[in-house]
Every structure is written in C-alpha cells, then in structure tokens.
Amino acid sequence: AEATEARDAAEAERKAAIKVADAARHDMFEERRAKRLLQVDVEHVRGEIIERREQVAAMEARMQGYIDSVETAEVQVRQAIQWRQHETDRAEEYERDIQSLVVSFNHMQEEIALNEELKASVAVLSGALSGKREKKRFWKGKTTELRRQLSGIQREAEIWTQERDNE
C-alpha cells in the first residue's frame, strides 16, 4: 500500500509538474504572442507617426504656398495703388493742361475779334487808298490762317477732353 501511495504521489507530482510545465509553456507562448502583437502595434504606431509627419510637412508646404500667394497679392495691390495714384496725377495734369488750353483759346478768340475790328478799320482806311483789293486779299488771307489755327486748337482741346473723360 505504501508503494501504491508513493506511486500515486509520484504520479500526482509528475502530473502537477506537467501542468506547471504546460502552464509555463502556455505563458511563454502568450508572452511571445503579446510581444509580437506589441511589435505589430509599435510598427503600426511608427507608420502612423511617419504618415502624420508627412501630412504635417505637406500642410506646411501648402501654408507656405498660401503665404507666398498672399505676399504676391500684397505686392500687386501696392503696385495697383501706385499705378492708380500715378494715373490720378496724370489726369490732374491733363485737367490743368486743358484748363490752360481753354484760357489760351479764349484769349485767341478775343485776339481774333480784335483783329476783325482792326481789319475793318484797315479796310475803311485802305478804301481811301489805292490798291484796296490787294489789301483786302491780304487781310482775308490772315483771317483764314487765324481761323485754321483756331480750328486746330479746338480739335486738340476736344481730343484731350475726350481722353480725360475716357480715363
């Protein structure tokens, strides 16, 4: 009976040792499996980190592009403002030129009227003198010449006025 008990005890110890060994193998297997899963998770996280870094770099590049576009637009707006100011200055200069031409034109009309009066006076005086027809042709030619000059000045004033209105 003692031998049976010793054998049963040895068998129970052997089964217990097998169970402990199986549990240890299972634990080692689970530990390796956990390590593999952890390694996969680590690699996955590393991949996500790399992907996020690439996304951040792409976003930074886009933002720099936006910044460059805004800076370019600012330069273009400043240039447009300067151009507009230049055009305004030119328009004001043209306006002063036109006003000056109008004053000159008015003076010329006054001079033409005075010349007409002088011509009439000269015609009266030259009527008494010989060669009345030659003097009349002379003054008529002068009057025609002055009218042509006046017409040219009027055309220039109209062109400048039209250019100013178009601007």
pLDDT in tens, 88-128: 999 899 899 889 888 988 888 888 888 788 777 766 666 65
Q: What is the pLDDT of residues 46-77, one digit of tens each?
A: 999 999 999 999 999 999 999 999 999 999 99
**Which residues neighbour 136 within 8 Å (Cβ) at sequence distance 6 or greater?**
123, 126
Cα 73 from Cα 153, distance rounded (Å): 44
Averaged over 131-144, what is the pLDDT?
72
Instruction: List the chain domain ranges.
Output: 2-166
